[in-house]
Amino acid sequence: MNETPIIKVCQLTKTYRVGDVDVHALRGVDFEVARGEFIAIVGASGSGKSTLFNVLGGLTAPSSGSVHIEDKNLLHMTDTERTNLRRNTVGFIFQKYNLLPTLSAEDNIRIVKYIGGHGTGLDGPFREVLRMLDVTDRLQHKPRALSGGQQQRIAIARAIVNGPAILLADEPTGNLDSQNSAAVLRLLKDLNERLGQTILMITHDEEAASYARRRMHMCDGQLV
C-alpha cells in the first residue's frame, strides 16, 4: 500500500443556509485515506456523512478547512476544476443508482467514458470487469428493465470505467434487499482486493461496513 494519502482532510467544515438558519453539517473533520484502502464511514441519518460524500466528490464546495485529493485542495477549486475532478479522479455510486433512464445500460457506461475523453469503446479488460459484475447479458436493456441489484452493478461499472483513483459509494445497498446487498458489497470488496481500487463507502449499516477494511464513525458532523 502506498504511504502517501490519496485523501487528506483537515478541519473540514460545511455550513448550509436553510432559510434563516445556518446548518453546520460538518464541524472540523480530520482523516486520511491511503491509496488502495476500503473505508466505511458509518453514521446515523443527519450525522453529516452524505455531506462529506458530496464534498469529497466535488459535488459541493467545502466552507473551510482543507480537502486534498491526490494533493489538490478542493477548497480553492473552481467549478471547472471540480468538474475535472469528478471526470478523472472520482467515481460515484449512489443509493438511487442514478442511471440515465433514456440510455441503455451499456450506453450509461459509454457516455461516462466519452465524457472522460476515453472514446466510447469498452476494451477487453473492462469486458472482464463486466463479467465479474455479471451484467453482460443486461447491457442492452434500459434501466427500467433492470432490477435494483442489476442497476447498482451497472452503476458500479459506470463508476470505474475511467479508472478513477477513488470510488465513492453513498449507501450503495440502501435500496437493495439483503441478497443483492451482499452481492454488491462482495463486488466492492473484490474491486478493492483484486484491482486495488480505493473505496470510501458511506453507510448507516454496520453489516455493510463490515466489508470494509477500516471503519470510521460519524456523529453530529464529526468523526468519533
Footprint of another protein (CB under 8 A): 54, 57, 59-60, 79-80, 83-84, 86-88, 92, 94, 98-103, 107, 110-112, 114-116, 120, 158
Q: Which of 77, 75, 101 is nearest to 87 (CA)?
A: 77
- C-beta of 182: minimal distance to another protein in Å? 26
- C-beta of 184: minimal distance to another protein in Å? 19
- C-beta of 99: minimal distance to another protein in Å? 8
How many Å apart are CA 207 and CA 71, to the nearest integer? 32
Of the two residues 57 and 172, which places its CB atom closer to another protein in the complex?
57
Of the two residues 115 and 195, which places its CB atom closer to another protein in the complex?
115
Of the two residues 107 and 190, which places its CB atom closer to another protein in the complex?
107
Of the two residues 14 and 209, which places its CB atom closer to another protein in the complex?
14
Q: What DSSP letter does each residue of 5-29 carry, written as one string?
A: EEEEEEEEEEEEEETTEEEEEEEEE
Helix (H, G, I), strand (E, B) or coil at 64: strand
Of the two residues 34 and 122, which places its CB atom closer to another protein in the complex?
122
Q: Are 150 and 135 in contact (CB under 8 A)?
A: yes
Helix (H, G, I), strand (E, B) or coil at 49: helix
Q: Which of 167, 1, 157 is nearest to 69 (CA)?
A: 167
- C-beta of 183: minimal distance to another protein in Å? 23
Signed CA dihedral, 142, 145, 135, 160: sign only: positive
Helix (H, G, I), strand (E, B) or coil at 164: coil
- C-beta of 75: minimal distance to another protein in Å? 16
